[in-house]
Every structure is written in structure tokens, then in C-alpha cells.
Amino acid sequence: MDPARSGFNPYEDVLTVGNVSTLSQAWAVPTSTGYGVGAPVTYGTGVYISTGRNAWAFEAATGARRWVTPEGYVFLSSDLAVAADGIYGQGPNFINPLGPSHNSIVKLSPADGSVIWDVDTGSAGEVLVAPVVSGNTVYFGGWNAFTTNGGAVASGT
């Protein structure tokens, strides 16, 4: 929380030296994809994760699966970004069994994981980074930086 990245969080008032040893794992869900796994992202009561072959949504409290994208969509373990209107993921070689494969950023439905839109970004997916959502704009990139608003690439550098 500080510029030195010391790990000290002045706002933490639940965990203490006295109770940290009482923590236990609440749940675990095997995804068994054989690929790298992106960092989990929480939003509302959900946990969202990219596992290389799929994006997954779970109930945060129980680990119950809400949905998983169909086999064949490949996110290559890029982290996801989650907003009220969608889940955003980036990866080189977004392999879409319903259309052409390409470097892209995709927007998934929070309700069922279906693809709302995907944008061919050319080389933007060369380095996997988590997209950032601000209002109606999604910022993403790697070697190049792009923004998209509503599924159309607005600018790139």
C-alpha cells in the first residue's frame, strides 16, 4: 500500500498476528487445463478467472460454478477485467470456433460467459496484460496500447 511496497496495509483491521494462523481454505475448484492461469478477479459475489482455454465464473462464497466459456476459446492465461456490463479478456490467438482466430480483446456476458463482441487488435496481444475498464472505455495492450469503446478499436499507438 505504500510506495516502497512493504506490504503494510494501514487499513487492515481484520487480520492480526494473533489470528492469521486460524485462516483456512474455504474452497478449491480444479480447472485442469494444462495452461497457465490468470489472476482471479472478484466483482460483486463472483470470482472470475482465465485458465488458458476458458474463462470461468464462480460464486465467491461457495466456489459453485456459474459458467465456463465453451472449449476452444483461448485466453492464454491473460488476466481478466470485470465491470458491471461485462468481463473483458485479452490474448494472442483468441481462437473462436465460430469465426476466425486472431489477436483480440473480448467482452463476455456476466450472465453466461457468451461473447458479446471481440475486436481484432493485430499485435496488441503480444504481451499479455489485464485490460482496464473505465466507464465505457476498455484500455488494453502489450507492445501497443489501444482503447475500445463498444467493441470498436478507438485508437492505437
Query: Ranked by mean pLDDT, which of 14-28, 29-43, 113-127 comes out on top?
Result: 14-28
Q: What is the pTM of this model?
A: 0.74
Domain membership of residue 22 (yes or no) is: no
pLDDT tens digits, residue range 41-77?
A: 999 999 998 887 788 899 999 999 999 887 666 665 5
Q: Total domain count for the chain?
A: 1
φ, ψ of residue 10 to 5 degrees: the values are: -70, -15
Domain that holds residue 116: 31-156
The whole-angstrom distance between residue 16's C-alpha and the CA centroid of its chain comes to 30
Q: How big is the CA angle at 55 (ends 116 and 95), to the nearest 5 degrees?
A: 70
Distance CA 57, CA 71 (A): 15
pLDDT score at 124: 43
Percent of the chain clearing pLDDT 70 (strictly above): 66
Domain membership of residue 7 (yes or no) is: no
Residue 102 is part of a domain; what is its CATH number?
A: 2.40.128.630
Q: What is the mean pLDDT of residues 3-21?
A: 82
Confidence grade of residue 122 (pLDDT, cut at 50, 70, 90): low
Domain membership of residue 106 (yes or no) is: yes
Question: Of the candidates 129, 126, 127, 133, which has an alpha carbon nearest to the alpha carbon of residue 108?
Answer: 133
Domain membership of residue 90 (yes or no) is: yes
Q: Is 143 exposed, middle or buried (0-12, 13-18, 19+ CB in 10 A)?
A: exposed
pLDDT score at 123: 53
Domain membership of residue 2 (yes or no) is: no
Domain membership of residue 77 (yes or no) is: yes
pLDDT tens digits, residue range 101-113?
A: 566 778 889 999 8
Which residues neighbour 24 within 8 Å (Cβ) at sequence distance 6 or greater?
A: none
Domain membership of residue 17 (yes or no) is: no
Domain membership of residue 96 (yes or no) is: yes
Query: Ranked by mean pLDDT, which of 26-35, 53-62, 88-97 comes out on top?
Result: 53-62
Spatial strand order in the sheet of 65-68: 41-43, 46-50, 55-59, 65-68
